[in-house]
Structure 1
Amino acid sequence: MLILGNGRVITRDEANPYLEQGAVAIEGTTIKKVGSLEEVRAAYPDAEFIDAKGKVIMPAFINAHEHIYSAFARGLSVKGYDPKGFLDILDGMWWTIDRNLTLHDTYLSAMATYIDCIKNGVTTIFDHHASFGSIRESLFHIEEAAKETGVRSCLCYEISDRDGMDKARESVMENAEFIRHALKDDTGMIAGMMGMHAQFTISDETMELAASNKPDGVGYHIHVAEGIEDLHHCLKHYGKRIVDRLMDWNILGEKTLLGHCIYINGHEMDLIKETNTMVVHNPESNMGNACGCPPTMELVHRGILTGLGTDGYTHDMTESFKVANVLHKHHLCDANAAWVEVPEMLFNGNAQIANRYFKQQLGVLKEGAAGDVIIVDYDPLTPLGAGNVNGHILFGMNGSKVVTTVANGKVLMKDRELQHIDEAKVMADCREASEALWNRING
């Protein structure tokens, strides 16, 4: 039994949203009780106790769209790289990196990303992987890192024809094999999806191959209309819009996650809504790649399940919260935009997305939910209560303020110290591997 207590508790439970001096008791992997410090400690007097010392106790974060394979891009300069548009960014930077990754690089990239996740209070991620230099077993190497670090992960491999049909087939089989493996997992910490890059790099032949090899019970994870080039390609080659093509291939559905959705129209939103398909917004990536601003506010207003991701740009979900908040205000020239919609995506949408793949309830502190809890070093200088917690998180917190991270009932970080990982060794290994990768890329 573990108790995190003596802090301000933000529960995300509508029946019991905020406790000024509260505690959370975890038994095994599950929250057993949430209440006042006195009643929780009285109920479990022999439990291990982590004293929050007045800090904020809240549910751990969920990231609905990550890219572990991008970890070694930090500080990288690719010789001759001078992108004139989104396709140049993809081919010149990201596809260049993924073509040169070894399986060991993938494992270390995962370890580095998971360490950053833990340090930013993220305990569940949906990752979209690519390593066209080493496809087979790549998801299993990521799973190895996930198990070592304790971060709950839904994984997929990015199917694409961009490096030829042999590798496209290999990508499909990597997904299919990992999904079958994940469906047998009984820990509640691993899941799989059929990953796809984007429709403009996937032929009908590969669409058919993916569909025929996708195990039942899972959906797809695909980038949709991230750049205008994706839409133009679909119109030119198939005479239809992107979501229509996905609909024709039976890709839409309640287990499918669409990334970005920048260049979609009202008709496509109707299809997404009618099929109960999920969407994930990645504001920093969209801005950084100069791709445009998606109609995210309209998606939320239409009742489409929409979450928030980072696209590998960061592992700090409060960063995405802050950027999405100002992006949509700026884009719509409306100072009232995004106050409600963005926290709805981060705190409710991400939890609902995660619970389509993981059985135990996530994103909330209540009896029966997963034991995913963080302590944030935040001392409010203004009144804090149930009605204004989102404002305090938006303007007062960031990932580096997370001091303790618990996932599935296991303490992963305490007082900013990782508990079960030799961080210095992992970072040293990453520096060695990344230097070798950079040398391969730049000759």
Structure 2
Amino acid sequence: MLLIGNGPLITRDPDNPFIADGCAAISGTSINSVGTTLDMRAKYPTAKFIDAKGGLIMPGFINSHMHFYSTFSRGMNVPGEPAQDFSGVLEKLWWRLDKALTLRDCYYSALTALVEAIKCGCTTIIDHHASPYAVSGSLCEVARAAREAGIRTSTCYEVSDRDGQKIAYEGIKENIAFMDWAERENDPMISGKFGLHASFTLSDCTLEKCREAMEGRENGWHVHVAEGPSDEEACEREHGKRIVRRFHDFGITGKNSIFVHCIHIDGAERALLKETGTAVVHNPESNMGNAVGAASVPQLAAEGITLGLGTDGYVSDMLQSYKMGNALCKHAAKHPNAGWGELPAMLFENNALIAERAFPVKLGMLKDGYAADVIVLDYNAPTALSDKNINGHLLFGASARSVVTTIANGRILMKDRKLTELDAEEIFAKAREHAAEVWKKI
């Protein structure tokens, strides 16, 4: 038995949301119970005790859309004229970076991002991978890094026609091979989806091959949708329909599927997402950075679409995405009250719902039977703190630098801001070596 106590406990359980001096008891990989520190220590006198020292105790963060492979782009000087639009960003940066990756690069770019995730208190990640000149085995390299790090990870390979039919078919095979491998491994911390890039890089022929390969499987799909306006324009011009309808016609919508961005979808598309139970993941920092617009967060939420929050590979810090998302929502709506309810629901409720569709566990709460994903933040509130205002404290007071302890699935990954199992210095040194080679290719 492991106890984490002596601090305000934020359970995210609506029946028992807040304990002023709380303590969570972990048995194996699950939460056993919660209560006051006094009661729990009396109940389990021989249990190991982690002292939160007055810091916030809460569930680990979940990232519903991540690109581990983007890690080596950081600080890179991309040659040539700067991109002038989103298409230019893809062509000048991302589609050059992914072509340069080897299998070993895939492993170290993932492991580096996972180290940062631990430091940011993120315990579950849904990844979306691409390495077109190193497709076969790439997802197992990502999974190997995730296992070493101890972070619950779902991944997939981004099928696309942009590098030719042969590589597209290799991507299809990689998705299926990884899902089969994950099923044989029967590891509750690793799972796979079927990855697709976006409508404008996928022919009907390739989508039909994808549908055939996925027949009988319920893992779901993970795809970018209407990130830039040109994606919708191309779909209507070439296929006579909008993106969500096109994907629906190929069987890609559904409750286990993730449609990322959805910035430029219309009312009929939103209705189809709602009808099919398809989840949407918003990535505010990426959308601002790529200047592609702002998703209609209040409208998507009001219409009952399951709306999650991701980082799109920009960072591993979900609190930063939460803060950015709140500000962008207000800015786009031109109203200071926008985002107050939607963003907390996305991060603390809907991300758990989305992740539960990928893993055989209950997530997002400190409650009996839920996964033992617990973090401690060194945050000493300067004003009153309760379940009624915790979201405001996290928005304006805490940051990823506040995370001092990270426990995922009952495994202590960081304590007192020190990693317990990984050697970050060695990992980052190796990453720099691999990044240097990648940069040379570009």
Tell me, yes or no, whether TM beats 0.5: yes
Distance apart, 1:305 and its partner CA: 0.5
Alignment coverage as a number of residue pairs = 441
Q: Are 1:146 and 2:143 an aligned pair?
A: no
Match of 2:119 in 1: 119
Match of 1:40 in 2: 40
Bigger mean CA offset, 372-381 vs 325-334:
325-334
SS in 1 for 2:156: strand
Bigger mean CA offset, 227-236 vs 206-215:
206-215
Deviations along 1:383-430, one digit per CA (max 9) or x if unpaired, are 001111100111111111100000000000001110111111101101
Q: Where do 1:179-198 residues align within 5 Å?
A: 179-198=179-198
Q: CA-atom RMSD, angstroms?
A: 0.8
Distance apart, 1:185 and its partner CA: 3.5
Deviations along 1:237-284, one digit per CA (max 9) or x if unpaired, are 001111110111111000110000000011100000000000000000
SS in 1 for 2:160: coil
Deviations along 1:70-116, one digit per CA (max 9) or x if unpaired, are 00001001110411111110011001000000000000001101000
Q: Where do 1:41-440 residues align within 5 Å?
A: 41-214=41-214, 216-440=217-441
SS in 1 for 2:75: coil
Q: Following the alignment from structure 1 to structure 2, what is the Cα–Cα distance between the partners of residues 81 and 57?
A: 48
TM-score by length of 1: 0.99
Q: Following the alignment from structure 1 to structure 2, what is the Cα–Cα distance between the partners of residues 153 and 212?
A: 25
Match of 1:3 in 2: 3
Q: Following the alignment from structure 2 to structure 1, what is the Cα–Cα distance between the partners of residues 195 and 234?
A: 20
Distance apart, 1:354 and its partner CA: 0.6
8 Å CA contact 1:21–1:37 kept in 2: the answer is: yes
Distance apart, 1:180 and its partner CA: 1.4
Corresponding letter in the other structure for 1:400: R
Q: Following the alignment from structure 1 to structure 2, what is the Cα–Cα distance between the partners of residues 398 and 301?
A: 28
Q: Following the alignment from structure 1 to structure 2, what is the Cα–Cα distance between the partners of residues 233 and 29?
A: 47
SS in 1 for 2:6: strand
Deviations along 1:265-319, one digit per CA (max 9) or x if unpaired, are 1110000000000000000000000000111211111110010000011111011
Q: Following the alignment from structure 1 to structure 2, what is the Cα–Cα distance between the partners of residues 74 and 276?
A: 35
Corresponding letter in the other structure for 1:167: I
Q: Following the alignment from structure 1 to structure 2, what is the Cα–Cα distance between the partners of residues 200 and 235?
A: 10
Corresponding letter in the other structure for 1:80: G
Q: Following the alignment from structure 1 to structure 2, what is the Cα–Cα distance between the partners of residues 409 and 187?
A: 15
Corresponding letter in the other structure for 2:56: V
Q: Following the alignment from structure 2 to structure 1, what is the Cα–Cα distance between the partners of residues 211 and 355?
A: 23
Q: Following the alignment from structure 2 to structure 1, what is the Cα–Cα distance between the partners of residues 78 and 68?
A: 19
Q: Following the alignment from structure 2 to structure 1, what is the Cα–Cα distance between the partners of residues 204 and 265?
A: 21
Q: Following the alignment from structure 2 to structure 1, what is the Cα–Cα distance between the partners of residues 218 and 201?
A: 25
Deviations along 1:361-391, one digit per CA (max 9) or x if unpaired, are 1110001000000000000000001111100
Q: Following the alignment from structure 2 to structure 1, what is the Cα–Cα distance between the partners of residues 184 and 270?
A: 34
Deviations along 1:45-65, one digit per CA (max 9) or x if unpaired, are 111110001100000000000
**Unpaired stretches in structure 2, ≥5 consecutive residues:** none
Corresponding letter in the other structure for 1:243: V
**Unpaired stretches in structure 1, ≥5 consecutive residues:** none
TM-score by length of 2: 0.99
Q: Following the alignment from structure 2 to structure 1, what is the Cα–Cα distance between the partners of residues 174 and 156?
A: 9
SS in 2 for 1:91: helix
8 Å CA contact 1:81–1:93 kept in 2: the answer is: no
Corresponding letter in the other structure for 1:152: R
SS in 2 for 1:222: strand
Corresponding letter in the other structure for 1:120: C
SS in 1 for 2:128: strand
Question: What percent of counterpart residues are identical?
Answer: 49
Distance apart, 1:187 and its partner CA: 3.0
Distance apart, 1:440 and its partner CA: 1.3
SS in 2 for 1:182: helix
Q: Following the alignment from structure 1 to structure 2, what is the Cα–Cα distance between the partners of residues 104 and 131?
A: 11
Q: Following the alignment from structure 1 to structure 2, what is the Cα–Cα distance between the partners of residues 12 and 86?
A: 37
Corresponding letter in the other structure for 1:34: V
Q: Following the alignment from structure 1 to structure 2, what is the Cα–Cα distance between the partners of residues 43 and 180?
A: 43
Distance apart, 1:222 and its partner CA: 0.2
Q: Following the alignment from structure 1 to structure 2, what is the Cα–Cα distance between the partners of residues 32 and 139?
A: 33
Match of 1:12 in 2: 12
SS in 2 for 1:126: strand
Q: Following the alignment from structure 2 to structure 1, what is the Cα–Cα distance between the partners of residues 292 and 182?
A: 34
Q: Following the alignment from structure 1 to structure 2, what is the Cα–Cα distance between the partners of residues 390 and 359?
A: 28
